[in-house]
Structure 1
Amino acid sequence: MDRAQDNGSFFDKLSGLLHQPLTILILITGVLVAYLLKVQIKIGVPYWDVFNYLNNALHFANMGSNGVVNHLPPMIPVVTSLVFRMGYVSVDVIFIISGLIFILGVIGLYLLLKERFNPTKSLAGSLIFISLPVVMAWAVSGGIDLPGVVFSIWALYFLVIGLKKDSKFLFLVLPLLVVSLLTRYTAGLIVIPMIFYILANLNQVKEILHIKKVILGILIELGVLLAIFTYFILQLDTSALFGLFFDVVTSSSSGVEDVAYNSNFLYFLQNSLNYISLGPVQGTYRQLLNPSEGIPSILAYIIGIISVIGISSYIYRVLSTEKEDDISRANLANLGKIIVILVLFTGLVLSFYNKSLILSEILLLVLVYLLYRFMARGKFEMDSKLALDLMFISWFGAYFIFHGILPFKVDRYFITMAPAFTYFIILGLSQFIGELKPRIKGLNSKSGWVYLMVALICLSSATATYIGHTPQKTFTVDISNASEWIKGYDPSYSSKVIGSDYPNAVTWYLHQDTTGAYLKNYNNTVEFANYLHENGVYYYFDSNKSHPNLKGYRIIKTFGVVAIYEKTTP
């Protein structure tokens, strides 16, 4: 009898646990990540930079210095190298690490959203975030875009609860900020929403600063973290990083011949529907990684329209909260505020189109801060929500400005804006449903199910699209097979010069430096063949589908789209 009661109690607890939104979110995310990992491991590395991180990881693990790229952020390679040191050296390691970090990020986003919305809306928002094509496609790719965002999410979350609830959480903000910077350098832009949120909560900041232990602790922590950050930076070749930053700040167009060159300032805004949902189900893997090359689904239009209507309604509600008496007594003051905001906004637009990055970011920060000061009502709950809304506006705006001005644009850069983008989708949806509640009988009691239904439709659509777009493998698997084959074909391959148009991949698989050789950089195949000869290339790995005839070389083996050339003339 007691045993039966214990079993009943266990199942009751389990049932209660499953009703917790965070538990449901972790289960869904865990299952999805497991599936994504299965697919990613099967199809291989999706893009160039992942092999650079893998080669750098070998370097940090003291397993070789072939193909090291010193200017890349070190965090993901360092973490990957720890697993390599344990004896498991595989591309799968970086996929698994990405997946674990992604799960951590989804949890962090849920907790951050819950500071503004109820648990059900926060769950829906987190599922919508997962469903964004550009997020799902890159979730376990081994790239640094999502990990950089993940640590930024947690840094912001601890800042928010540190100022609102317990100042002890503020000790975690600086370490996470440094970690996010070392994961992806541009994650440093998260200081824009951080500075805004601190300014919007100056009263709490003043109270906290009266606690001497907090001040002393943060100062010590800051000194240690600056030392660690400086150490890492000194180990890196930051010339390329500073060169890119200089190009953006000075409006240089030195990368005009780069395939990713794009001067469209509104590129990410114009493709925003593609980032919500792609259609149809069948398509290419390239469209999955680069949603701008696909077409938005009907679901994207529906979500987009509802969000715009909801946010418009929300803005109207916020602006019309003043009592008529207050408005009539303060017409002149309100007019002055409107003029200031319009002048700042005009200055922001002009500086943005004039590629003045630093000025644009400063104007953005001033604009959102003054908006908060002008719109704050002195009511804690209302002002707290407003501060979070404007914090997310500054988050989206900071990265939108940077990547808009940046002369290189690829869709994965939108990942830096994805959490803020999701925030406004759920805000718009929440306001839209809120407006319908008085008009539709029973909606108030069932609105939670509406949010979950929308989120699950988005997740189902994204998963179906992912399945429809995902190939059996990518060409990097062919490079892996080709590399394994050459080891058996020529055991002394390591004594010969090897070239490739995907050198970092061949370097990883063969564990030796590979000469970069790109046919597109030459006028014809004769010039290209001469380059190979001049550099003593004995084997050449070509990853193009159309393999040209190269004078003095013959194709000895093909693997899918990859062909191996061998030198035939002295």
Structure 2
Amino acid sequence: MAILLWNNRDLASMTGLREKVLFILLSILMVATFGRVSFVVSEIILLLWALSVARMAGDRENTDMNLAMAVWFLSYLFMHSFHPVKVDRYLITVMPAVAYGISLSIRETAGIIRWKHASDVLSALVALLMLTSAINYLAGMPDSYGIVEAEKEAAAWLMEHDPAYSERIIASDRGPAFTWYLGKYVFTRKMHPDRMELCIEYFRDLNPDYYIYWTDETPLPSGYRVIYSRRGVAVAERMNMTG
């Protein structure tokens, strides 16, 4: 990215004062508001920033594609900076932009080095780095994961306990995981000690029939009784729930 900006540094001298001021203001606004406003607002500012760059660049080669990939990557980065749940597989959604950025970086860097084999060497180094990273990641994966087994057992027990579970409102401190295990949408409701009042209010608005949680991490809201507890995972039922 730095090399690409350097190679296009002449944009500052080729554009009018209005375009420069707009670009600078949007750049400052994008940085200053990051993490302080809704990520939707940040995404809108990002889009306006990209449009200002496109206006400055004019008809330059590949400007549209470069900007599209940059916006793709930055919008992903913005959204997942706000998202409370981060999982490794979420990176898949931004891999096309990452791959494009790597290819563009190799091309721009090779153009500066001016050696006929620069592109080949850089590509080989990137491929080696990615392969090493993948091997290291796979080597660190455990053969068995106690958390998964305990959660699967709790989900299986609930399905057997209440055959009509698919019609119930179910919440969990690990909603995405139990959505997978139960085959139905499970709301995420986690009790954060530093925001307990807000979490309880959020929980009461949903008023779930069942709450599945890790006993050593999440306190149980009042009005619920534990009907299953094993290996650290508990299933609680709303006391006034009718069949």
Q: Which of 320, 324, 339 matches 2:13?
A: 339
Shift of 1:408: 5.2
Q: Which of 334, 338, 349 matches 2:24?
A: 349
Q: Which of 440, 454, 459 matches 2:125?
A: 454
Q: Distance in 2 between matches of 1:497 and 1:482?
A: 16
Shift of 1:542: 0.7
Deviations 1:290-343 (A, max 9, x none): xxxxxxxxxxxxxxxxx84x985xx39x98xxxxxxxxxxxxxxxxx8634374
Shift of 1:568: 7.2
Q: Distance in 2 between matches of 1:422 and 1:358?
A: 22
Partner-residue secondary structure (3-state), 2:228: strand
Q: Distance in 2 between matches of 1:421 and 1:352?
A: 20
Q: Which of 226, 236, 241 matches 1:565?
A: 236
Q: Which of 38, 51, 54 matches 1:362?
A: 51
Shift of 1:569: 8.5
Q: How does 1:401-412 map to 2 (within 5 A)?
A: 402=75, 409=82, 412=91
State the one-letter code of the partner of 2:114: G
Distance 1:541 1:400, change over 3 A: closer
Identity across aligned pairs (percent)?
13
Deviations 1:472-507 (A, max 9, x none): 44956643332112334x254638664423445545
- Report which of the two has the higher share of strand: 2
Partner-residue secondary structure (3-state), 2:124: helix
Q: Distance in 2 between matches of 1:535 and 1:338?
A: 56
- Report which of the two has the higher share of helix: 1
Shift of 1:515: 6.0
- 1:466 has 2:133 as partner: no
Give the TM-score, by structure 1 length: 0.30
- Structure 2 alignment gaps of length 5 or more: 31-44
Aligned match of 2:114: 434
Distance 1:420 1:536, change over 3 A: closer
Cα contact 1:357–1:402 (8 A) shared by 2: yes
Q: Distance in 1 between matches of 2:132 and 2:68?
A: 27
Q: Relative contact order: is structure 1 or structure 2 higher (C-alpha 8 Å, sep ≥ 6)?
A: 1
Distance 1:349 1:415, change over 3 A: farther
RMSD of Structure 2 on Structure 1 (CA): 4.7
Distance 1:421 1:562, change over 3 A: farther
Q: Distance in 2 between matches of 1:535 and 1:311?
A: 52
Pairs aligned (count): 213
- 1:481 has 2:170 as partner: no
State the one-letter code of the partner of 2:102: T
Cα contact 2:107–2:119 (8 A) shared by 1: no
Cα contact 1:311–1:427 (8 A) shared by 2: no
State the one-letter code of the partner of 1:365: A
Q: Distance in 2 between matches of 1:340 and 1:524?
A: 52
- Which structure has the greater CA radius of gyration? 1
